[in-house]
Amino acid sequence: MPALSPQEFISRDYVSDLSAADLLRAYRLMVLSRKLDERCWILHRQGKIAFHISGIGQEACQLAAGLALKPGKDYYFPHYRDMVTVLALGMRPVDILMGTYGKAGDPGSGGRQMPNHYNFQPANIVSVSSPVTTQVPQCAGVAFAIKLRGEDRVAMCALGEGATSQGDWHEGLNWAGIHKLPFICMVENNNYAISVPMGMQMPVANVADRGYAYGMPGVAYDGNDFFECYNVTCEAVERARRGDGPT
């Protein structure tokens, strides 16, 4: 397919359906996530929990994903930094803390998973797997099932830019592109894969540039601009629902 520029794919005049009440809820969720994230850092430093993987600074793009999807209908495959996404989709702070402490009240695994390995069946949040990028082919597989069944659903996964160096990334995107699946892959680029800078991870300027090779548009956008994040994510979700394929 011919390469699409972000301007050809995303209309910057795209009007979202956010009301004043929606914006207040969005702000509350971002603040709640930030405070809960900070508290988990403190609990770790106090030796009260095993570990914590922070999503501080990535809340805007994560929240946009949570608000663009339909909880309990669409499927979300998070990675371990996606605290505000799972809050937006219906998890409660107490649910997250139950998992963090490994308590039986953890709704996802009964305390058997590790911290930040979110899983919430009522909202179709599929459990995080510890090996990075395994969620991509899993998400593509669910999207394939959705298409075969003719269901009005989408499947979305999230990961960091370092995970795009894994083979599972290629396999998942290749499958989604070949079969034109209702699949969205959100890469949260914080410029470092633990300690490896982006320049040592890939030879392209933006992770989104890799999408074209798999027959899908890729869009690079400001992950700290909530409105841009929401508009881009909503349009990608709408494309998937229409049967126009993955993003």
Q: What gap in Å lies between CA 176 and CA 156, rounded to an integer?
A: 11
Residue 25 domain-assigned?
yes
Residue 164 domain-assigned?
yes
Structural domain boundaries, residue 109: 19-242
How far apart are the two ends of the chain, measured CA to CA in Å?
13
Q: What gap in Å lies between CA 185 and CA 21, rounded to an integer?
A: 28
Average pLDDT over residues 36-62: 96
Work out how many domains the chain is built from and give that number: 1
Q: Is the pLDDT of residue 237 over 70?
A: yes
Residue 58 domain-assigned?
yes
Q: What gap in Å lies between CA 143 and CA 138, rounded to an integer?
A: 9
Q: Is the pLDDT of residue 246 over 70?
A: yes
Q: Where are the beta strands (DSSP E) in the chain?
A: 75-77, 155-160, 183-188, 192-193, 196-197
The SS3 of residue 158 is strand
Residue 180 domain-assigned?
yes
Q: Is the pLDDT of residue 16 over 70?
A: no
Q: Is the pLDDT of residue 232 over 70?
A: yes
Q: What gap in Å lies between CA 86 and CA 91, rounded to an integer?
A: 6
Residue 13 domain-assigned?
no
Residue 14 domain-assigned?
no
Average pLDDT over residues 187-215: 89
The sign of the dihedral angle between the CA atoms of 68, 70, 72, 74 is negative
Q: What is the pLDDT of residue 112?
A: 92
Average pLDDT in the chain:
92
Average pLDDT over residues 212-232: 93
pLDDT band at 13 (very low <50, low <70, confident <90, very high): low
Residue 234 domain-assigned?
yes
Q: Per residue in 150-182, pLDDT tens?
A: 999 999 999 999 999 999 999 999 999 999 999
Q: Per residue in 69-123, pLDDT tens?
A: 999 999 999 999 999 999 999 999 999 999 999 999 999 999 999 999 999 999 9
The SS3 of residue 151 is coil
| CATH number of 182's domain | 3.40.50.970
